[in-house]
Amino acid sequence: MERGLLLPPLSRATLPPLPVRLERLGDARPQVLAVLEGETDAIARQATFARLLWDVLPQLSWCGFYRRVGPCTLAVGPYQGSLGCLRIDFDRGVCGAAARTQRAQRVADVRQFPGHIACDDAARSELVLPVVTAGTLRAVLDLDSTFLDAFSEEEAALLTELVAACFHAPELVW
Ligand code: SME
């Protein structure tokens, strides 16, 4: 486990068929939970989660967290990929929409999303999942891909469940 996940290696910047992506997520789930077990620092968990997910889903071009640092402000947290924007207000972008509504945002074509923030011009689709504990928004998990429609409803559901399993622990220090 110290060397990473036990999954077949896949080339980055590829979009494998959906069944392959779903199988990888299923296989990765217990491994991710095992790596994070016992860690109570939320940023340590976020950093490790982002790094692990980076290897699970080869369609990712960006994978990481924006942390809530004010009533309506997010600041970038641990991530993998190209340079991300540093701050995002709740009224901007896909991340802001997820933070504001506390609802997952699955965007098949970011060019069709009014106000999308293009940190990377090559980004084409995006999935943002809120991290909410006891009704309080703590962060959002932001996933980007250079492929159109790279995140299915099934992946969104599995990832929502995984985020809950990894970040809803009451002992976590935020
Ligand atoms: N596209 C996001 C901004 C963050 S970057 O993609 C890393 C948005 O519209 O909120």
Output the CA–CA distances (angstroms, integers) from residue 164 to 50, 143, 167, in the order listed.
14, 16, 5
Is 172 inside any structural domain? no
Residue 2 in domain: no
* 101, 144, 146, 151: residue to mutate for ligand 1 pocket, most atoms within 8 A of CB: 144
Residue 174 lies in a domain: no
Q: Give Dmax over CA atoms of the chain in angstroms.
A: 42
Q: Please choose from 65, 116, 143 the residue to mutate so as to test ligand 1's pocket, defined by most ligand atoms within 8 A of CB.
A: 116
CATH number, domain containing residue 78: 3.30.450.40
Question: What's the confidence (pLDDT) of residue 3?
Answer: 67
Is residue 12 in some structural domain?
A: no
Q: Vertex 134, ends 131 and 136: CA angle to 5°?
A: 55
How confident is the model at residue 161, as a pLDDT? Answer: 98
- pLDDT tens for each residue of 120-145: 999 999 999 999 999 999 999 999 99
Please, what is the Cα angle at 83 between 146 and 30, to 5 degrees?
70
In-domain check, residue 31:
yes
The mean pLDDT of 45-65, rounded to a whole number, is: 98
Residue 68 domain-assigned (yes or no):
yes
**pLDDT class of 2 with cuts at 50, 70, 90:** low
In a domain, 6, yes or no: no
Instruction: Ligand 1, residue 96: give the atom nearest the CA.
Output: 10
Total domains, the chain: 1
Inside any domain, residue 8: no
Question: For the segment 65-100, what is each residue's pLDDT rounded down to a tens digit?
Answer: 999 999 999 999 999 999 999 999 999 999 999 999
Tell me the pLDDT of the chain averaged across its residues: 96
What is the domain range of residue 159?
18-167
